Amino acid sequence: MSDDDTDPGSPSRRIAAWTFGLSVVSVVAAGVVVGGLLHTPEPELTTALPTTTTPPPPPELPEYSYVTPSVTYPTQIPGCDVVEPPGESEMIAYAHYGAPAYENPDYPWFSGPKALAMSQALVDALPAGTEVEFAAPEASLYFQPISSYEDPTIDLGGSTDAHATLRRGDARGSLWVSVRQTADPVPPCVAGSLDARRTLGDGTVVDVQDTWSETDGVRTVSRSAAVYTTDGSRIHLSASDASYSDGEEKHSSAVPLSIDELVTLATLPQLRVTVPVPPGTGMPPMPCSTSVEGGPAIDRAEAARLGVALAAVPLPGVSTDRPLGELWPAGYDAGTVCQAVQVTTPGSESELRVAIAGGQDLPDTSETSSGRGSYDGTFTEIRTLADGSVVERREHHYAQVGMEAGAQSTQMTSRTVTVTRLSGGYVQAVSNAAVPARPLSFEQLEAIALAPDLEVTS
pLDDT at 22 over 70: no
Question: Of residues 55 and 358, which shows the higher confidence score?
Answer: 358
Burial of 350 (0-12, 13-18, 19+ CB in 10 A): buried
Supply the mean pLDDT for the chain. Answer: 84
Average pLDDT over residues 309-329: 95
The helix (H) or strand (E) run that includes residue 116 is helix 112-124
Q: Fold for 300-449, please state it.
A: Jelly Rolls (2.60.120)
pLDDT at 19 over 90: no
φ and ψ at 19, to 5 degrees? -115, 120
How many Cα atoms occupy the beta-carbon half-sphere of 402 within 13 Å? 11
Tally Cβ neighbours within 10 Å of residue 308: 12
CA-CA distance, 226 to 234, in Å (whole number)?
Answer: 7
Q: Which long-range contacts (CB under 8 A, 24 or more apart) does 58-62 make?
A: 58/32, 58/34, 61/29, 61/31, 61/32, 62/216
Average pLDDT over residues 166-193: 96
CA-CA distance, 157 to 108, in Å (whole number)?
Answer: 11
Question: Of residues 22 and 197, which shows the higher confidence score?
Answer: 197
pLDDT of residue 153: 60
CA-CA distance, 369 to 447, in Å (whole number)?
Answer: 21
pLDDT of residue 331: 86
pTM for this entry: 0.81
pLDDT of residue 200: 97
pLDDT at 27 over 90: no
Tally Cβ neighbours within 10 Å of residue 93: 9
Domains of the chain, residue spans: 66-271, 300-449
pLDDT at 415 over 90: yes
How large a percentage of the chain has pLDDT more than 70?
A: 79
pLDDT tens for each residue of 277-295: 999 999 999 988 887 877 8
pLDDT tens for each residue of 225-235: 999 999 999 99
pLDDT at 152 over 90: no
